[in-house]
């Protein structure tokens, strides 16, 4: 079996503005060119639809990630490569989702807080610093970086193309092991 036909979840985690959506969209484009079945579950879009009504307490954030993980698992077991782009700030819930899915690659999209604040296209950091948004990850709510991610993309130090190449290489490597 070809690695491109193996269901897999690539979980892009990192602070708001780190580049999760940008990288996952570029990876999607690359995978489609290779003939892969691909779906993106973007945290912002999922919150508007699947998890509408959940807040930003730890419990609600965990439930949000569980629901995204549930959908990712369904797709993965049906030979779809799923690209999840969600802050998912807590290590424990990321581990829980990893265990449930199995074919899982954690991609830490890493950029320093200062860089993420400079990129703040939605103005969220500014609102969080002003106290308008409470429990904002990286400001007054913690972000627990992955301990041992399969891929780390340093978006403050590498190009989009470099990050995408690292992700695709890891996917091909793990997928080839699973296919044999």
CATH label of the domain that carries residue 18? 3.40.50.300
Q: What is the pLDDT of residue 139?
A: 87
Average pLDDT, the chain: 89
Q: What is the pTM of this model?
A: 0.92
Q: What is the pLDDT of residue 4?
A: 65
Q: What is the pLDDT of residue 123?
A: 86
- Which residues are identified as catalytic? 88
Give the tens place of pLDDT for each residue, 57-111: 788 888 889 999 999 999 999 999 999 999 999 999 999 999 999 899 999 999 9
Full domain range(s) for residue 40: 3-179
**The tokens of 67 are what?**
């629901």
**Domain count for the chain:** 1
The DSSP letter of residue 106 is: E
Closest CA to 69 of 103, 37, 36, 38: 103
Residue 141 predicted with pLDDT over 90? no
Q: What is the pLDDT of residue 29?
A: 96
Closest CA to 175 of 123, 104, 92, 88: 104
Residue 133 predicted with pLDDT over 70? yes
Q: Are 166 and 151 in contact (CB under 8 A)?
A: yes
More confident of the two residues 28 and 127: 28
The CA distance from 70 to 103, in Å, is 13
The CA distance from 127 to 36, in Å, is 39
Confidence class for position 56, pLDDT limits 50, 70, 90: confident
The CA distance from 45 to 60, in Å, is 16
CA 44 to chain centre: 11
């Amino acid at each position: 079996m070809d690695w491109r036909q193996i269901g897999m979840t690539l979980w892009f985690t990192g602070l708001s503005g780190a580049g999760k959506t940008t990288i996952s969209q570029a990876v999607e484009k690359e995978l489609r060119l290779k003939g892969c079945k691909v779906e993106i579950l973007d945290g912002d879009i999922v919150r508007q639809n699947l998890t509408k009504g959940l807040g930003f307490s730890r419990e609600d954030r965990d439930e949000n990630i569980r629901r995204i993980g549930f959908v990712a698992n369904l797709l993965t077991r049906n030979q779809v490569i799923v690209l999840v782009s969600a802050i998912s700030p807590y290590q424990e819930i990321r581990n829980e989702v990893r265990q449930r899915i199995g074919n899982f690659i954690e991609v830490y999209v890493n950029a320093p807080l200062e860089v993420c604040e400079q990129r703040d296209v939605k103005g969220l950091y500014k609102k969080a610093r002003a106290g308008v948004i409470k429990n904002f990850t990286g400001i007054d709510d913690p972000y627990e970086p992955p301990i041992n991610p399969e891929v780390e993309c340093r978006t403050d130090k590498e190009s989009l193309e470099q990050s995408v190449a690292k992700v695709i290489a890891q996917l091909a490597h793990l997928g080839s092991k699973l296919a044999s």
